[in-house]
Amino acid sequence: MDVPGRWKDLDHLLTRPGNVVGPGFEPDPALRAFLHDDCRVLCVGAGGLGCELLKDLALSGFGQIDVIDMDTIDVSNLNRQFLFRLKDVGKPKAEVAAAAINQRVAGVHVTPHFCRIEEKPLEFYQQFQIIILGLDSLEARRYMNQVACSFLAFEEDGSPDLSTIKPMIDGGTEGFKGHARVILPGFTPCFECTLWLFPPQTKFPLCTLAETPRSPAHCIEYAHLIQWGQERPGHDFDADVEEHMRWVYDEALKRAAKFGIAGVSYQLTQGMDNYMMYVGTDGIYTHTVKYEKDAACLICSSGVPLHAPASSTLQQVIDQLQRDPRFEGKLQSPSVSCGPQNLYMHGIFEEETRQNLQKDMKMLIGGSHAILQVNDKKLLAPLRCRLTLSDHSDLDAEMAE
């Protein structure tokens, strides 16, 4: 609905040159037409956050919005989910929310999807320029994170292929607290990279944490499990308390710097902040930071490091993958390929590739290093492994890199 003057406030930003703008921003009246007619946004969840998001999107110039939610409306939703009325109780949230926006904001078209997020194929999610999450469960967030990261492809040098980045924005609220984060797969940390933000924690051997920290996660665990008790006796650590989390984060930063571990460090001067947290119980406090990606993230890294003895056969590498605790529960019957070459595949190529299993891995990949693609029906997207064939220990191999 392009009535003259309707989007005046927004047009100031879209049509005027600015000093604080993203790289490549060119003021252009066509931007609003793009937002309104061409840009497709998916809002996942039509609850408390979802209702607010749908309204905010519609009044920020977005015209083609989809919303997906599996829930129906309950009386206890009405104190905040303002798109619903008492007469709507029992109806699907997605449908009522979409109809409410369509009716109130002229020209905006919201399409509802009353189903579970897992019911939609990846192609469904592929069609959106941006995905926004208004979810309340960790599991659903992790699923959507895998979806967004599954589109990510890498150039040969291991850098992300820009055209495959599916930006995702995650929000969350509880009581007087909340957070918002921007996930640009391949650039900013994905959900799995910073899973430590959410309890329960993965457990690491204490000696590793104390003597030989090797990853950002090790530093964070050290700060949490060991330093906390030493330096803050009498305070029970509570991951829900912002100040506690920040303390652990700051201590982890120091420790990472001491051991020269990249990943926990952040620089305010470069790159974008990607995480904002909000606490509104005692005054209003927000903290905006740039978290770093986990270079060994299973979901969004260009390759998970994998070390195997120099003389391994393909079968031995596959066995090792299946024993690896990092992939626990993820690999049932893995198929492995290397670039365009199928090394071992289940299904119709099984017979053809079976003979490779006993072959020398070095010979198959033509060297000591390769990126392996591992497929499994339990995986949403292929797992990328950065294989190194070497007789040195893992740690030595890491140092050597």
Partner 1 sequence: MVEIKDPKSKKYDRQLRIWGAHGQAALESAKICLLNCGPTGSETLKNLVLGGIAGFTIVDGSKVEQQDLGNNFLLSEADLGHSKAQGVSSLLKELNDSVTGGFVETDPEQLINDQPAFFNNFSLVIATQLREATMLKLDDICRAEGVKLLAVRSYGLVATLRVSAAEHAIVETKPDNAVGDLRFHAPWKELHDFAMSFKLAEMDEIMHKHLPFAILLIQAVGHWKAGHQGKLPSGSKERTDFKALLKSWQRQIDGIPVEEENFSEAMTNASKVWSQHGIPSEVQAILEDDCMNLNSSSSTFWCLAAALKRFIEQEGQGCLPLEGTLPDMHATTDLYLQLQRVYQTKAESDVTAVETHLRAILKDNASSISSISRAEVKLFCKNARHLRLVRFRRLSEEFGISCKHNVLRQALTAEDQATNATLYILLRAVDRFYESHKHFPGTFDSPPESEIPMLKAKAGALLSEVGASPSPAWDDCLAEMCRFGAGELHCVAAIIAGMAAQEGIKLLTKQFVPQSGTLVYNAMGSTTSVFCL
Q: What's the Cα-to-Cα distance from 389 to each of 197, 215, 364, 384, 392, rounded to whole Å?
A: 34, 21, 12, 16, 9
Q: Which of 12, 116, 254, 378 binds partner 1 (CB under 8 A)?
A: 12
Contact 334, 373 (CB under 8 A): no
Does 104 participate in binding partner 1 (rule CB under 8 A)? yes
Q: Does 52 bind partner 1 (CB under 8 A)?
A: yes
> Are 344 and 354 within 8 A, CB to CB?
yes
Q: Which of 190, 207, 300, 338 is catalytic?
A: 207
106 and 118 Cβ atoms separated by less than 8 Å: no
Q: Which of 13, 130, 253, 357 binds partner 1 (CB under 8 A)?
A: 13
Using the structure block, give the residue that is written with the tokens 């990846």: 122
Q: If binding is defined by CB under 8 A, does position 116 make contact with partner 1? A: no
Both tokens assigned to 104: 């109130």
Residue 257, classed as helix, strand or coil, is: helix
**26 touches partner 1 by CB under 8 A:** no
Query: Is residue 217 a contact partner of residue 294, using CB atoms and an 8 Å limit?
Result: yes
Q: Which part of the chain contacts partner 1 (CB under 8 A), choosing from 79-87, 91-99, 133-141, 151-159?
A: 79-87
Quick one: which segment of 111-119, 189-197, 278-286, 339-347 binds partner 1 (CB under 8 A)? 278-286
Please confirm, yes or no, whether 385 is among the known catalytic residues.
no
* 19 scored as a contact of partner 1 (CB under 8 A): yes
Among 38, 137, 158, 176, binds partner 1 (CB under 8 A): 176
Q: Least CB distance from residue 261 to partner 1, whole Å? A: 24
210 makes contact with partner 1 (CB under 8 A): no
Q: Which amino acid, residue 195?
A: L
Under rule CB under 8 A, residue 80 binds partner 1: yes
The whole-angstrom separation of Cα 242 and Cα 20 is: 30
Binding flag, residue 20, partner 1 (CB under 8 A): yes
Q: Does 276 bind partner 1 (CB under 8 A)?
A: yes
Phi-psi map region of 335: left, alpha, beta (phi>0 left; psi -120 to 50 alpha): beta
Could you tell me the two tokens for 166?
A: 């599916």
Determine, following the binding rule CB under 8 A, whether residue 130 of this chain makes contact with partner 1: no
Minimum Å distance from CB 239 to partner 1? 12
- Nearer Cβ to partner 1, position 32 or 218? 32
Q: Give the nearer residue to partner 1 in terms of CB position, either 290 or 392.
A: 290
Query: Do the Cβ atoms of 297 and 376 come closer than 8 Å?
Result: no
Q: Edge-to-edge strand order for the sheet containing 369-375? A: 304-308, 383-389, 369-375, 335-338, 341-344
Q: How far is the CB of 48 from partner 1 (least distance, A)?
A: 8
Q: Which among 295, 306, 399, 323 is positioned nearest to 361, based on CA atoms?
A: 306
Give yes or no for residue 76 binding partner 1 (CB under 8 A): yes
Alpha carbon distances (Å) from 68 to 123, 155, 158: 15, 32, 34
Residue type, 323: R
Name the residue nearer to partner 1 (CB basis): 80 or 326.
80
Residue from 244, 246, 346, 392 in contact with partner 1 (CB under 8 A): 244
Task: Decide: is 243 part of the binding site for partner 1 (CB under 8 A).
Answer: yes
Choice from 23, 260, 283, 329 touching partner 1 (CB under 8 A): 283
Tell me if 357 contacts partner 1 by CB under 8 A.
no
Give yes or no for residue 29 binding partner 1 (CB under 8 A).
Answer: no
The DSSP annotation for 346-360 comes to SGGGHHHHHGGGGSB
Least distance in angstroms from the C-beta of 263 to partner 1: 22
Residue 6 in the binding site for partner 1 (CB under 8 A): yes
Total of residues contacting partner 1 (CB under 8 A)? 55
Within 8 A by CB and 6+ apart from 5, the residues are none
Give, as one character, the DSSP assignment of residue 106: T
Contacts of 27 (CB under 8 A, 6+ apart): 14, 15, 16, 17, 18
Q: Which residues contact 20 (CB under 8 A, 6 or more apart)?
A: none
Task: Determine if 284 is a binding residue for partner 1 (CB under 8 A).
Answer: yes
CB 114, min distance to partner 1, A: 23
Closer residue to partner 1 in complex, CB, 16/203: 16
Positions touching partner 1 (CB under 8 A) are 3-10, 12-13, 16-20, 52, 55-56, 58-60, 75-76, 78-80, 82, 85, 104-106, 175-176, 180, 233-235, 238, 240-244, 268, 273, 276, 279-286, 288
Active site residues: 207
